[in-house]
Amino acid sequence: MSEKRSSKEKDGFFKQVTKEANNIVQQTVDSSGKVIKSITGEGGLIGKTVDSSGNIIKKASEKSTEAIDKTVDTSSEAFKKVKNKTFSRKDKE
């Protein structure tokens, strides 16, 4: 539990939200795929189409999460650099 907490604290708000959204997308795709395949059958054309389209949606969600994570990291680094330069300047008289 402490590992989860420290990971969440380290990630920050935006990364937590995108990870949760990604988890919801993944679970929704899996659940809807199971429902559709239970009605139409596992090996048929519809089942295979559901699997393929589900994989596409999952990959898109994962890539979106990665892009947001990178954007947050880059923004945080840029802000820290600007903050450090601004507040660590020595006044020259």
- Condensed to tens digits (0 to 9), the pLDDT of residues 37-77 reads 888 877 788 888 999 999 999 999 999 999 999 999 998 88
> Are the C-beta atoms of residues 16 and 63 closer than 8 Å to each other?
no
Percent of the chain whose pLDDT exceeds 70: 84
Domain boundaries, the chain: 8-82
- pLDDT, residue 12, reads 86
Instruction: State mean pLDDT over 29-41.
Output: 90
Q: Which pTM does this prediction carry?
A: 0.68
pLDDT at position 1, please?
47
